[in-house]
Amino acid sequence: MGKLAIILSFILSVFPADASENRRHIHVVRPGSKRSHRGQTVAKIWIEENGEKKIEIAWSELSSNEERAIMQAIDEHWEELNRSIDDVFAGKKTTIKKYK
């Protein structure tokens, strides 16, 4: 798992196996979560479509306030997150950013 950033108490991550999917997305992970869709992932957020910025929730177990805060942070840091995703998919080491 490639950890990209921390927002609130959530970790934004990508999985190297996701490189072949047709839309780029981010997994939102809640550390220590017992109830989740995939492991500790509590949301999946699409961040582009056909190479263009398009942020939307694929599925979520988050509250509406948590979704809003995370989507706003993704929107504000979209280019930087995409560069980090490229690095993860290329096997490079990434630095985890902290966003508010």
pTM of the entire predicted model: 0.85
| Residue 40 within a domain | yes
| Residue 21 within a domain | yes
Burial, 4: exposed, middle or buried (Cβ in 10 Å; 0-12, 13-18, 19+)? buried
| Residue 99 within a domain | no
Q: Choose among 42, 95, 85, 94: nearest CA to 67.
A: 42
**pLDDT single digits (tens) 22-49:** 899 999 998 765 554 456 889 999 999 9
Mean pLDDT of the chain: 87
Total number of domains in the chain: 1
- Boundaries of domain holding 53: 2-93
| Residue 72 within a domain | yes
Higher pLDDT, 37 or 99: 99
| Residue 20 within a domain | yes
Contact (Cβ atoms closer than 8 angstroms) between residue 29 and residue 8: no
| Residue 100 within a domain | no
| Residue 98 within a domain | no
Element (H, E) at 2: strand 2-7
